[in-house]
Structure 1
Amino acid sequence: MLIYRLLTEDDSSEFCHKISDALAKGWVLHGDPTMSFDAARGVMRCGQAVVKDIDTPYSPDMKLGQQ
């Protein structure tokens, strides 16, 4: 079963740490990262899709970050 997450964060080292943590837990980058300007807050936001193959059947109740 392949599961998907979209990780987002302000353009900061926190975003890089979030991605690095997911990679260390077995998630794999999926596609290119994206950036967008949040005009309401005046900051750049980053996003990166990640996927992971798991043995457990998918459930909408599962906590994806704990997989």
Structure 2
Amino acid sequence: MPTIFRFITEDDTSQFCHRVSEALSKGWQLHGSPSMAFDTARGVMRCGQGVTKEVAAEYHPDMKLGQQ
């Protein structure tokens, strides 16, 4: 089965945790450590987390990864 990757990003709020938790509940798995960086233009911390998932379909650039 092919494996697909996506990187979830969000401001450092509970919304980021909810997005990652939703992905995990849909079968995605954590990939690597979370990251944080300060967005100087907006004055906020940003979070990111890579996730992977095995899918039945072959990868295609038009895939809607968040809907897999």
Q: For the superposition of Structure 1 and Structure 2, which TM-score range results when normalised by the shorter chain?
A: over 0.9
Q: 5+ residue gaps in structure 1?
A: none
Q: Measure, in 1, the Cα distance between the counterparts of 2:62 and 2:32.
A: 25
**Runs of 4+ more than 3 Å apart:** none
Map of 1:32 onto structure 2: 33
Q: Deviations over 1:14-60 (max 9, x none)?
A: 00000000000000000000000000000000000000000100000
Q: Which runs of 5+ in 2 are unaligned?
A: none
TM-score, length-normalised on structure 1? 0.99
Shift of 1:63: 0.2
What is the rounded CA distance, in whole Å, between the counterparts of 1:13 and 1:4 in structure 2?
22
How many Å apart are 1:10 and its aligned residue? 0.2
1:2-21 paired onto structure 2 within 5 Å: 2-21=3-22
Query: Normalising to structure 2: TM-score of the pair?
Result: 0.97
Percent identity over the alignment is 64
Q: How many residue pairs are counted as aligned between the two chains?
A: 67
CA distance in 2, matches of 1:39, 1:61: 32
Matching residue of 1:22: 23
